[in-house]
Amino acid sequence: MNISCCGTFCEKCTAYHKGCAGCSETEGKPGWVIDMGLKQCNFFTCCINEKKLEHCGKCSEVPCKMFYDYVDPSLTKEAAAKDIADRVLHLNNCC
């Protein structure tokens, strides 16, 4: 199963395998990043490029402010909190 550095399962994304091979394979440049006017996913930039970590689970600040700033706007407050908790759990269990 492909998991991004922020703990999201790539398979849950509608763009996965439809032009996107996942964050690791695209070096933090999945299609949605371009749609948002970014050059690279902020999680990837921080974790991989700047902190030189394998994934956010290796960071002492997880879940950091970015996890709360970049929630899916279609989620309720409760669903967003569960999504963050699930992603942190994935990161803690994956490696």
- What pLDDT score does 6 carry? 94
Q: What does the pLDDT read at residue 17?
A: 79
Which domain, by its residues, includes 87? Answer: 10-94
**Do residues 70 and 83 make contact, with C-beta atoms less than 8 angstroms apart?**
no
Residues in the chain: 95
Task: Indicate whether 65 belongs to any domain.
Answer: yes
What is the domain count for the chain? 1
Mean per-residue pLDDT over the chain, rounded:
90
In a domain, 3, yes or no: no
Q: Does pTM surpass 0.85?
A: yes
Residue that is written with structure tokens 């970049």 in the block: 70
pLDDT at 95 over 70: no
**Does a structural domain hold residue 48?**
yes
Q: Is residue 2 part of a domain?
A: no
Which residue, chain included where needed, has tokens 């991989």?
Answer: 48
pLDDT tens digits for range 41-50: 999 999 999 9
